[in-house]
Amino acid sequence: MDGNAKVFAAQEALQQIKQLLAENQPFSGTIDSLEKILGLTEVIKHISVIRLQNEHHLAEAFHYPDNTPSTQQAFLTRKSHLVAKKLKLQPVIYPHELSQLLAESGYSGTVTAALIYPLQFEGHLYGFVTIEPVKELQQWQQADFNKLNIIASILGAYFAKKNAFEQTALQQKVYTSIINGMNNLIYITDIHTNKILFMNQTMKDSFALEAPEGKICWKLLQQNMSQRCTFCPISKLLRAPTPNKVIHWEEVNSKTGRVYDNFDSLITWFDGSLVHLQQSVDITDSKKFFHDACFDELTNTLTRRAGKELLANLIADSQSNNSSFITCMFDINSLKPVNDTYGHSEGDKLIIRICKTVKSYLGSSDIFFRLSGDEFIIIFTEHPLQNVKEVLQKILLELKNTASKEGLPYEPSFTYGLFEYKPTSEYTMKDILNHVDEKMYEQKRAYHIHMRQQEAALQQRAGRLNKTKFSYQAQYLYDALVDSTDDYLYVCDVESDIFHYPKAMVEEFDLPGEYIKNAAAIWGAKVHPEDQSAFLASNQEILDGRSNSHYVEYRAQNKAGKWIWVRCRGRMQYNDLGEPKLFAGFIKKLGEDYDPDAKQ
């Protein structure tokens, strides 16, 4: 064979070897193909390949052409760590060196001439190969050594590839096992075809899918979609493919109805391609828990705790940003009469109606929360004080008009107080709430004065009440008398709101009778105009539960038209449940010339 023919034959053999390495065929098939390609079919009797887990431990052994090793091959397999140790010192073990190694290792059987080559690739020892010749060829030729070296090199590459494949498979198995065990929903798609490449078990279970791989994501994971989701973040990721970029977004899934917190990114897949990874957390329950913890069940406004936390943050931000805000406290009017007359369900409707109307006028950065039963706080962050007053008046007007259209037997309304916080004031949250509470009660008193005046006018037209409509429990009378003094004694049955006045007082001040309903309005009409505010405020504190007694001096007009100074003292008595039952006290005449500013 001339030189050109040899070169061609070598090139052809090399091409066949490359093709062989690219194939994933069994070990025996690989050896058989190598023998044929290299022309060693008539030379090699037996080949044993020992694959090492590491230099001290055997991973597996292969024997060709049959899988039954000889006594010598079995011994070498057991002593693979000694062979590996020697191969670290020299590139090949020749027959005479093998005999010495066997003897030193305690082998006592027949020694068969063989060569041992390391299976190495890129400096890593994967094992070794023992090659025995046929009996007729005990002496190896140089050409044979060259071919045996080729076999050893190819087998080294073969096991390097096998090891890499197994490592990749193991890593993928471990990776998949870990991913399947996670509570997060994870899936990977092809960025061009939208086909699902991988989905963990958690997500399969959540979406009731068995084998989603290879299918279009938006067809499986969304409801009634005809193309890629408009909210899919892949396009955004591709426009700025920076390393480790993550797009975080929230989704209400159209198929499951659940709420997911999504984290999307681009990663490199096993084949080197760029793919889309989405990791999702089902936050439906946590959002519900958060809503339940932060929002009032009846009104869907923030709870007291959540609202006060936001107010505290707003105070801190206001100081750092040098910005102001306006706090409004409002109290629903006539809630107790509505509850007593129409039932608590109607009272709840009243609260809901007012809150819904208030919300419709608030800005996105305003804060609205329920402070107590019928007291609410609004934090206006976008309007000056005058505008806030206009907004509140619009709300009250809308409530009034709606009640008129719907024919409600009561008017939904509220009284409010306003306080403007400025960052230079250094008020605490407690200071703010106290100030706005005082402002609200000023308006509340004015509201009750107006209502009492209306009630007094109605009472005058209604005529006198019969004595039989009034009753009280005597056991509460004694406690009231102990806490009072003499002169005009009055007693009020709280449940019926009927007062009993002594006959002398009725005659002195020309009252409608001894038994009077809504006495605060009737008697209040006889109070000097300059003293009415103090009189009604003192009574209002009792009605609001802010005090259980009162002491107030004022002028009242008697039957002769004279203004007589009186001192009124009284105390509320409660039953064992803490419910108000009886209010009683005394009114003492101080005379026309009494000077309230003089020292007594």
| Token output for 258 | 């659940």
- The pLDDT confidence band at residue 3, using thresholds 50, 70 and 90, is very low
Cα(334)–Cα(268) distance, integer angstroms: 67
Edge-to-edge strand list for the sheet holding 367-370: 367-370, 375-380, 325-332, 414-421
For the chain, where do the domains classified as CATH 3.30.450.20 start and end? 183-284, 463-591
What pLDDT, on a 0 to 100 scale, did the predictor assign at position 6?
Answer: 40
The gap from C-alpha 296 to its chain's centroid, in whole angstroms, comes to: 17
Confidence tier at 221 by pLDDT (50, 70, 90) = very high
Domain with CATH 3.30.70.270 in the chain: 295-459
CB atoms under 10 Å from CB of 508, counted, come to: 18
Tell me: the pLDDT tens digits for 534-567? 888 888 888 877 888 888 999 999 999 999 999 9
pLDDT, tens digit (0-9, with 9 covering 90-100), for 478-494: 555 544 556 888 888 88
Considering only residues 333 and 11, tell me which one the structure prediction assigns the higher pLDDT: 333
Higher pLDDT, 82 or 471: 82
The region, left, alpha or beta by phi > 0 then psi within -120 to 50, assigned to residue 29 is alpha
Rounded to whole angstroms, what are the CA distances from 600 to 534, 535, 555, 593?
20, 21, 18, 14
SS3 432: helix
pLDDT tens-digit map of 283-319: 888 777 776 778 888 998 989 988 999 999 899 888 8
pLDDT of residue 559: 92
The arrangement of secondary structure in 295-459, i.e. its CATH architecture, is 2-Layer Sandwich (3.30)
- For 546, which DSSP code? S
Fold of 463-591: Beta-Lactamase (3.30.450)
Rounded to whole angstroms, the Cα distance separating 307 from 429 reads: 11
Residues 6 or more apart whose Cβ sits within 8 Å of residue 523: 509, 511, 516, 556
For a pLDDT cut of 70, what percent of the chain falls above it?
80
Q: What is the C-alpha separation between 165 and 163, in angstroms, rounded?
A: 5
DSSP class of 525: T
CA gap 518, 545 in Å, rounded:
18
Mean pLDDT of 361-372: 90
Please give the pLDDT value at position 55: 65
- pLDDT, residue 455, reads 67
Instruction: Give the Cβ contact number of residue 290 at 10 Å.
Output: 12
Q: Answer yes or no: is pLDDT of 5 > 50.
A: no
Whether the pLDDT of residue 91 is over 70: the answer is yes
Query: Band of the pLDDT at 344, cuts 50, 70, 90?
Result: very high
Q: Where in the chain is the domain with CATH 3.30.450.40?
A: 3-168
Tokens of 97: 């060196």
Confidence of residue 356 (pLDDT cuts 50, 70, 90): very high
Cα–Cα distance for residue pair 78/66, rounded to 1 Å: 18
Nearest-angstrom CA–CA distance, 211 and 271: 21
Rounded average pLDDT over 379-388: 89
- Domain 3-168, CATH homologous superfamily name and number: GAF domain (3.30.450.40)
Q: Is the pLDDT of residue 149 over 60?
A: yes
CATH number of 183-284: 3.30.450.20
For tokens 């060693």, the residue is 40
With 90 as the cut, is the pLDDT of residue 468 above it?
A: no
pLDDT of residue 459: 63
pLDDT of residue 338: 93
Within 10 Å of residue 194's Cβ, how many Cβ atoms? 18
